[in-house]
A and B are shown apart, each in its own frame.
Chain A
Amino acid sequence: MTFEVGSGLSIGVILATVIVVAAMLIWVERRLLSFWQERLGPNRVGPFGLLQVVADMIKIFTKEDWVPPFADKFSFVLAPAIIMTVILLSFSVIPFAPGVGVVDSNIGVLFVLAMASLGAYSVMLAGLSSDNKYALLGSLRAAAQMISYEVFMGISILGVVALSGSFNLREIVLAQEENGWYIFPQFIGFVIFLIAGVAESHRLPFDIPEAEQEICAGYHTEYSGMKFGMFFVGEYLGLVLISSLITVLFFGGWLGPSFLPGIFWFALKSFVFIAFFILLRAAIPRPRYDQLMTYGWLFLLPVSLLNLLITGVIILSTS
């Protein structure tokens, strides 16, 4: 079996790596947060607390797997599975490095957006099936937030698509080899994509669907054990996904000086964004729900449309 796009080995390695990285992020996030808050963070389990992840996993697997008697059992169990599935599927189109990837799809960008939309079902189902008012409120917020921000997310990438002339993510990276990183021509697109990405993965400061202080834990209030763990890991997977997309779309994917292999550059760039997302959590407070919606529709939408318009005008005028 060879290590090429679509090979079984490649799929296996990517799946394993992505999940391990997401799990490790539990530790990374806690450590980084504590550094920024002048604390030490988890440092007791293993060297530097690295095995904290193992401890957490043991805990989460051995917890009572409880389905509330009043919940709709089928969709209650289904919801966390959906989020895991759709995010992992999204990874299938990510070009990690030359020859490393699951599929080389020419609708990669559309596939990612489609999968992100499906993620909304997970949250909706979790909230509805829980039969809990906090969960319902959380899922309503999540649905509104995800659907709204998907719009700006999609529009913000269109500039990149237009510049590269392809929906194929691998081709977008290759196009950046010739034209330079799209962060420069598409800076506004990048900012919007970044913001929409935070909202899409409901990370802080946009964790409105699960705002502890207001609605307990939002849509996953009733979840425990590994079903909660799947939401939890799903969130980190989303984080990795958004970081990878930013790297691919705006920062030239695996491209970099050749003294290191491409996969290393990809990982480095992605980690910078992961760290940035964690910094956001450490620094920025959560806006109100209505502020988030107003900001999206009244500011991001016109800006992203304007960005697309100007990009189009420039492309047309230069070709």
Chain B
Amino acid sequence: MLTLIKDTLTSQVVTLWRVFSHLWVKADTVEYPDEMPYMFPRWRGRIILSRDPDGEERCVACNLCAVACPVDCIALQKTEDDEGRWYPEFFRINFSRCIMCGFCEEACPTNAIQLTPDFEMAEYERQDMVWEKEDLLIDGTGKYHDYNFYRVAGKKIGGKDKGEARNEAVPVNVRSLLP
């Protein structure tokens, strides 16, 4: 009985006091439309497609973002330029379905798809929340400045022949039997 009373005093009453004492603490609320909150760079907001340091589209249409997407709101189609570079023919995100989970960014092997701190995406028409590649593609590298997938990959593209990628030897002469 005594312990119970003691517990009540030390636990419940102290709790009550602690909570009550918050009356003198300044509120954390940021009054958003009047005042813009600070958005952290890694905030998971509106999705963009970035370009590599050479200014080319980073997306290689590998479909990994689409398959990682838990709400299946990304659809794209691979196509290829004359010199073998893969890129998306179309790239569509249905933002009315997007849950900003960032799995697409996580899955992206080329750092092409990135989430940005912009969260002000409300629309009056739901149809306006379907974004195509023209809407998504930005002119910069986004959060990751140096990565260029095709400089690492072995595939030949315009401006990069076989053996010119990072850490690659010049192509083998198959007619030679020298070691």
User: A38 contacts B19, CB within 8 Å?
Assistant: no
Say yes or no: is B176 at the interface (Cβ < 8 Å to chain A). no
User: B22 contacts A37, CB within 8 Å?
Assistant: yes
User: A283 contacts B23, CB within 8 Å?
Assistant: no
**Which residues of B have CB within 8 Å of A297?**
none
**Which residues of A have CB within 8 Å of B20?**
36, 279, 283
Say yes or no: is B18 at the interface (Cβ < 8 Å to chain A). yes
User: B15 contacts A283, CB within 8 Å?
Assistant: yes
User: A38 contacts B22, CB within 8 Å?
Assistant: yes
Cα–Cα distance between A34 and B18 once the two chains are bound (Å): 14
Min CB distance A271 to B, Å, is 15
Cα–Cα distance between A63 and B18 once the two chains are bound (Å): 39
Given contact pairs A38-B27, A39-B29, enumerate 10 new A-B contacts (beta carbons under 8 Å). Answer: A35-B27, A37-B22, A38-B25, A38-B26, A38-B29, A39-B27, A40-B29, A40-B31, A279-B20, A282-B19
Q: Mark A24-51, 1 if CB is under 8 A from B, else 0.
A: 0000000000111111100000000000
Cα–Cα distance between A284 and B4 once the two chains are bound (Å): 16
Say yes or no: is A15 at the interface (Cβ < 8 Å to chain B). no
Say yes or no: is B79 at the interface (Cβ < 8 Å to chain A). no
Min CB distance B2 to A, Å, is 13
Cα–Cα distance between A266 and B20 once the two chains are bound (Å): 23
User: B16 contacts A280, CB within 8 Å?
Assistant: yes
Q: Mark B1-43, 1 if CB is under 8 A from A, else 0.
A: 0001000000010011011101101111101000000000000
Majority secondary structure, B binding face: helix
**Which residues of B have CB within 8 Å of A74?**
none
User: A34 contacts B19, CB within 8 Å?
Assistant: no
Min CB distance B173 to A, Å, is 72
Q: Which of B16, B28, B31 contacts A283 (CB 8 A)?
A: B16
User: B22 contacts A284, CB within 8 Å?
Assistant: no
**Which residues of B have CB within 8 Å of A283?**
15-16, 18-20
Chain A interface residues toward B at CB < 8 A: 34-40, 279-280, 282-284, 299
Cα–Cα distance between A40 and B34 once the two chains are bound (Å): 14
The 5 closest A-B pairs by CB, nearest first: A283-B19, A40-B29, A36-B22, A40-B27, A283-B15
User: What residue in chain A is nearest B18 (Cβ atoms)?
Assistant: A283
Cα–Cα distance between A34 and B31 once the two chains are bound (Å): 14
Interface magnitude class on chain B: 10 to 19
**Which residues of A have CB within 8 Å of B12?**
284
Cα–Cα distance between A38 and B31 once the two chains are bound (Å): 13
Min CB distance B109 to A, Å, is 42
Q: Which of A36, A40, A280, A284 contacts B23 (CB 8 A)?
A: A36
**Which residues of B have CB within 8 Å of A284?**
12, 15-16
Cα–Cα distance between A282 and B12 once the two chains are bound (Å): 12
Min CB distance A30 to B, Å, is 13
User: B22 contacts A35, CB within 8 Å?
Assistant: yes
User: B23 contacts A35, CB within 8 Å?
Assistant: yes
Min CB distance A203 to B, Å, is 14
Interface residues of B in 25-80 (CB under 8 A from A): 25-29, 31
Cα–Cα distance between A34 and B19 once the two chains are bound (Å): 11
**Which residues of B have CB within 8 Å of A35?**
22-23, 27
Cα–Cα distance between A299 and B4 once the two chains are bound (Å): 10
**Which residues of A have CB within 8 Å of B15?**
283-284
Q: Which of A34, A279, A280 contacts B27 (CB 8 A)?
A: A34
Min CB distance B26 to A, Å, is 7
Min CB distance A291 to B, Å, is 13
User: A279 contacts B16, CB within 8 Å?
Assistant: yes
User: A38 contacts B28, CB within 8 Å?
Assistant: yes
A-B contact pairs, 28 of them (CB 8 A): A34-B27, A35-B23, A35-B27, A36-B20, A36-B22, A36-B23, A37-B22, A38-B22, A38-B25, A38-B27, A38-B28, A38-B29, A39-B27, A39-B28, A39-B29, A40-B29, A40-B31, A279-B20, A282-B19, A283-B15, A283-B16, A283-B18, A283-B19, A283-B20, A284-B12, A284-B15, A284-B16, A299-B4
User: What residue in chain A is nearest B21 (Cβ atoms)?
Assistant: A36
> Are A279 and B22 CB-contacts (below 8 A) given A35-B27, A40-B27?
no
Cα–Cα distance between A303 and B49 once the two chains are bound (Å): 70
Interface residues of B in 103-138 (CB under 8 A from A): none
Cα–Cα distance between A280 and B4 once the two chains are bound (Å): 19
Cα–Cα distance between A91 and B26 once the two chains are bound (Å): 38
User: What residue in chain B is nearest A283 (Cβ atoms)?
Assistant: B19
**Which residues of A have CB within 8 Å of B28?**
38-39
User: What residue in chain B is nearest A302 (Cβ atoms)?
Assistant: B1
